[in-house]
């Protein structure tokens, strides 16, 4: 045991696995209760600013680039012409920032339930909100489950689900009905990417998400694990699901500036997952 530090710590416990992650806090910059959740911004000692929703770390400035790159770029570069993109959630602006880097994208709709998250991001996370006013982007503050239910069939090329954990406001975003609506809204050749939790802390949850993607009518799937040091376990994942065929990288954009994503890493994830992760997509091996 280490002696208790002088500054306060933000500690998030993963209740099902009885483990925790902590970050030392210099000061609290913002705290409010929106109609949907508690929104808190802390200044950490060594990880930049921290955004927490209902006590769970959403992002820190030090490592948000990994999550946002991995949610956006593999999906967009797996599509030959991703003109129409829908972002579900993503109120902090980080996913939109990465999507807006793609010249192939012509229209982006972001459907976030809690406009206070976006307002807090505008006030406290200048590096995240750089594309919120991109002329291609339209920000809709609404329940994405109802929005997707009402959206026209075949009206999007890529759907990115940037949700919180499958409890609270985001529970419906992991339901098969919502995933089937995403499938319906995607045009031929379409691709869905969703944040799919930790494959090493919650393997059964990842397995369930993939089973629901099959049930929702997607043809192919892939699991993309990545390092996320400020999420529980330090490994998180995005799952890809395709309307037709198997997820493959179809394009390379040499002008795309990234810190974690590379086309070679994208290919490596599709061909060479560790055994315990591959088993979550394909089922246990003989």
Residue selected from 103, 272, 284, 286 as contacting a copy of itself according to rule CB under 8 A: 272
Residue selected from 37, 78, 95, 228 as contacting a copy of itself according to rule CB under 8 A: 228
Residue selected from 233, 248, 251, 281 as contacting a copy of itself according to rule CB under 8 A: 233
Question: In whole angstroms, what is the distance from residue 265 CA to residue 116 CA?
Answer: 35
Of the residues 63, 92, 157, 162, which is catalytic?
A: 162
Residue 112 Cβ vs a copy of itself, minimum distance, rounded to whole Å: 25
234 binding a copy of itself? (CB under 8 A): yes
Residue selected from 76, 148, 179, 273 as contacting a copy of itself according to rule CB under 8 A: 273
Question: Beta-carbon neighbour count of residue 21 at 10 Å?
Answer: 16
Residue 191 Cβ vs a copy of itself, minimum distance, rounded to whole Å: 20
Q: How many residues does the chain have?
A: 286
Nearer Cβ to a copy of itself, position 46 or 204? 46
Residue selected from 33, 81, 133, 227 as contacting a copy of itself according to rule CB under 8 A: 227
11 binding a copy of itself? (CB under 8 A): yes
Q: DSSP string spanning the chain? A: -PPPPSS-EEEEEETTTTEEEEEEEEEEEEEEE-SS-EEEEEEESSS-EEEEETTEEEEETTTHHHHHHHHHHHHHHHSS---EEEEEE-TTSHHHHHHTT-TT--EEEEEES-HHHHHHHHHH-TTT-TTTT-TTEEEEES-HHHHHHHSPTT-EEEEEEE---SSGGGGGGGSHHHHHHHHHHEEEEEEEEEE---TTT-HHHHHHHHHHHHHTT-SEEEEEEEE-TTSTTSEEEEEEEESSS--------TT---SS--HHHHHHHHH---HHHHHHHH----
230 binding a copy of itself? (CB under 8 A): yes
Q: Give the number of residues in contact with a copy of itself, rule: CB under 8 A.
A: 55
Q: Is residue 267 among the annotated active site residues? A: no
Which stretch in 121-129, 174-182, 240-248, 273-281 sits in contact with a copy of itself by CB under 8 A?
273-281
The answer to whether the CB of 156 falls within 8 A of the CB of 186 is: yes
Residue selected from 117, 145, 179, 200 as contacting a copy of itself according to rule CB under 8 A: 200
- Restricted to residues 84-143, the positions that interact with a copy of itself (CB under 8 A) are none
218 binding a copy of itself? (CB under 8 A): no
Q: How far is CA 75 from CA 10, 156, 224, 239, in A?
A: 33, 13, 11, 9
Residue 144 Cβ vs a copy of itself, minimum distance, rounded to whole Å: 27
252 binding a copy of itself? (CB under 8 A): no
Residue 75 Cβ vs a copy of itself, minimum distance, rounded to whole Å: 17
- Residues marked active site are found at 162
**What residues make contact with a copy of itself under the rule CB under 8 A?**
1-2, 5, 9-13, 16-24, 44-47, 55, 63, 66, 198, 200-201, 225-231, 233-235, 258-262, 264-269, 271-276, 278
């Amino acid at each position: 045991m280490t002696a208790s530090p002088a500054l306060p710590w933000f500690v998030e416990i993963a209740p099902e696995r009885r483990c925790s992650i902590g970050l030392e806090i210099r000061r609290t910059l913002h705290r409010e209760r929106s109609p949907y959740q508690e929104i808190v911004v802390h200044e950490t000692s060594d990880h930049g600013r921290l955004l927490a929703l209902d006590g769970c770390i959403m992002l820190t400035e030090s490592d948000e680039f990994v999550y946002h790159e991995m949610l956006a770029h593999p999906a967009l570069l797996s599509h030959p012409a991703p003109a129409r993109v829908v972002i579900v959630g993503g109120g902090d602006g980080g996913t939109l920032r990465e999507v807006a880097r793609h010249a192939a994208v012509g229209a982006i709709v972001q459907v976030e339930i809690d406009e206070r998250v976006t307002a807090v991001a505008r006030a406290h996370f200048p590096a995240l909100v750089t594309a919120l006013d991109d002329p291609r982007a339209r920000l809709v503050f609404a329940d994405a489950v109802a929005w997707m239910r009402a959206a026209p069939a075949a009206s999007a090329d890529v759907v990115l689900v940037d949700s919180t954990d499958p409890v609270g406001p985001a529970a419906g975003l992991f339901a098969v009905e919502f995933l089937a609506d995403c499938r319906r809204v995607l045009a031929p050749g379409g691709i869905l990417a969703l944040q799919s939790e930790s494959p090493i802390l919650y393997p059964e949850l990842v397995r369930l998400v993939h089973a629901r993607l099959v049930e929702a009518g997607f043809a192919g799937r892939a699991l993309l694990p990545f390092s996320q040091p400020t999420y529980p376990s330090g490994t998180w994942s995005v799952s890809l699901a395709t309307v037709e065929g198997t997820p493959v990288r179809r394009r390379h954009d040499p002008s795309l500036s990234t810190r974690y994503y590379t086309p070679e890493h994208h290919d490596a994830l599709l061909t060479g997952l560790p055994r315990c992760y591959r088993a979550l997509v394909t089922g246990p091996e003989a």
